Amino acid sequence: MRGLIALILLVLATPLVAQTALPPAPYADRQLDDPRLEAKARDLMLTIRCLTCQSQSIADSNASMAGDMRSQIRERIAAGEEPEAIRTWLIDRYGDWVSYEPTAAPILWPLWAAPVLLLGLGFVLMRGRIRRRKGKV
């Protein structure tokens, strides 16, 4: 009976000592040796949004996902890949939302035009209201 209780306690205690996270990626928090390459990587990291935090760049985030993305960027920069090619790869993998730099895709043109159209409409309405007031005086 004691052996059975010890076995049950051992099985129940196993999750307490289990590793909860994978080790960080190799370049998650370690800079590249070449300052010029590190500057390129850092500039790119500042323009990529953390998928976990959603309000921080991956350069500023402590999330493990951001660390993995920082490591991938540094590894690709060290391998000679250009930052724009890495940005394109990240956008293809995670979607347009991952980049802080807006795109000019034709499907988004109505969103860019809406503020101008609303300002124009407001101006026309204001002008008509002012003309009516002048006519009453």
Question: Digits of tens for pLDDT over the chain (137 positions)?
Answer: 888 888 887 777 766 666 556 667 888 888 999 999 999 999 999 999 998 887 899 999 988 889 999 999 999 999 999 999 999 999 999 988 899 887 777 877 888 889 999 999 999 999 989 888 887 76
pTM, full prediction: 0.64
> Which pLDDT score, from 0 to 100, does residue 134 have?
83
Residue with tokens 């300002």: 119
How many Cβ atoms sit within 10 Å of the Cβ of residue 50?
22
Cα 85 to Cα 24, 44, 45, 100: the distances in Å are 24, 11, 13, 16
> Which pLDDT score, from 0 to 100, does residue 14 have?
65
